[in-house]
Amino acid sequence: MSQTGMILVCVTGQNSCDRLIRRGRELALSTGMPLRVLHVRTTDRTLMGNPDISEALNYLYGLAREAEAEMEIISSPEVEDTICSYAREHGAQMLVMGNSPRHRPETRLVERVQLRLPEAAFEIVGD
């Protein structure tokens, strides 16, 4: 991981991810680290064929801009690999992710990312 570090917020295509960006901004302000926001899009249909997701991502992009964060949308069928690679490449010292109910696959995703990035701190934000 980079010595300068940064905070990485991982969002889905939901308006409720605004709480993740807000928490990331708080952490960035308190640590002095830059903030980045990442959305991994698994198919073109996720963005182009779903106006709700498009609207949510536009909303989150605007919120990221207000938080002085870069937001990237990366297309990849491998969400876990993409998050881990991005975090390493950009020197993420802390990741902010959402906490999903136990029966949802995203919860296992958070746990797997934590195992693959043991040198990073994690802030798991609930509903």
What DSSP line would sit under the chain, residue for residue? --SS-EEEEEE-SSGGGHHHHHHHHHHHHHH---EEEEEEE-SHHHHHT-HHHHHHHHHHHHHHHHTT-EEEEEE-S-HHHHHHHHHHHTTEEEEEEEPPPTTSHHHHHHHHHHHH-TTSEEEEE--
Please tell me the total count of domains within the chain. Answer: 1
Domain-located, residue 1? no
CATH code of the domain covering residue 96: 3.40.50.620
Q: Is the pLDDT of residue 119 over 90?
A: yes
**How much is the pTM?**
0.88
* pLDDT tens digits for range 4-62: 799 999 999 899 999 999 999 999 999 999 999 999 998 765 555 566 888 999 999 99
Q: Is residue 89 part of a domain?
A: yes
Q: Give tens-digit pLDDT for 66-86.
A: 999 999 999 999 999 999 999
Q: Provide the domain limits for residue 103.
A: 6-125
Which position has the higher pLDDT, 3 or 24? Answer: 24
112 lies in some domain: yes
